[in-house]
A = this chain, B = another copy of it.
Amino acid sequence: MEKDICLTTCVDQQRVARVVQGLPAEPLLLGAAEIFKMLADPNRLRLLHALAQEELCVCDLAELVETSASAVSHQLRLLRTARLVACRREGKMVYYRLDDDHVGRLLREGLRHAEEG
């Protein structure tokens, strides 16, 4: 790595140190990246946006994004383990909903930014 060259010339150590101090803790960064990763797919955004409006079952969601129930199930598992959605079984069917409305807020914020860009 050419770090040695760079270190002595253009890197402003003070500036870097200052900024490093301000960085969020490692687990926080990883957690946030994980959440954003879940939001980084149009189909998952559709699912989440739909669930922000009302509770839906896997079958409805599959219809919504025009794919197989299996594929949706995989996506939902990801969203579930990331704590973005929660589910509730009613007979044969499983109904999903947003876990809380932080998610909805993030979603809206992202869409708003997309509108303006």
Contact = CB atoms under 8 A, between A and B. Distances in A.
A116 B102 contact: yes
A42 B29 contact: yes
Interface in A7-44: 7, 9-12, 15-16, 18-20, 22-24, 28-37, 39-42
A60 B15 contact: yes
Given A10-B57, A56-B15, A35 B83 contact: no
Nearest to A91: B10
A56 B15 CA distance: 8
Contact of A53 (B22, B46, B56, B111): B22
Contacts of A63: 3, 6-7, 11, 16
B31 A46 contact: no
A10 B114 CA distance: 34
B113 A35 contact: yes
A114 B60 CA distance: 29
A65 to B, nearest CB: 10
A35 B114 contact: yes
13 contacts: A2-B69, A3-B63, A6-B62, A10-B93, A23-B49, A24-B49, A29-B42, A32-B107, A33-B40, A33-B41, A36-B37, A36-B110, A106-B106
